[in-house]
Amino acid sequence: MLNKQPSPNATKVCCSPFDERVESNGTVFCFARIAIPNNRATIGNYLCRKLHPHANLASFHSAAEVTAVYSLGAVVIGLQYEFDEFSWRGGTPVDFIQWNSYQPSMNTSDAVVESSGNGYFNTITLQGSTSHNALCKMEAEHTECSEFESCILRKTYQDLFCYRLHASHTGHTVQDEVNNNICGKTYPGYDIASIHSKEENDFIVKQAAD
CA neighbor of 78 nearest in space, from 96, 108, 62, 57: 57
Length of the chain in terms of residues written = 210
> For each of the chain's 210 residues, which pLDDT tens digit applies?
555 454 444 334 356 544 677 777 767 788 888 888 888 888 899 998 887 788 899 999 988 888 878 878 899 999 998 888 899 999 999 999 999 998 888 767 778 999 987 889 999 888 765 678 899 998 876 555 544 445 565 666 556 677 767 666 556 677 777 777 777 766 666 778 777 777 778 777 777 776
Q: Distance between CA atoms of 87 and 82, rounded to whole angstroms?
A: 7
Q: What fold, for 20-140? A: Mannose-Binding Protein A; Chain A (3.10.100)
Q: What is the pTM of this model?
A: 0.61
Which residues, in sequence order, are CB contacts of 4 under 8 Å at separation 6+? Answer: 161, 162, 163, 190, 191, 192, 193, 194
Parse the chain into domains and list their residue ranges.
Answer: 3-8+145-208, 20-140
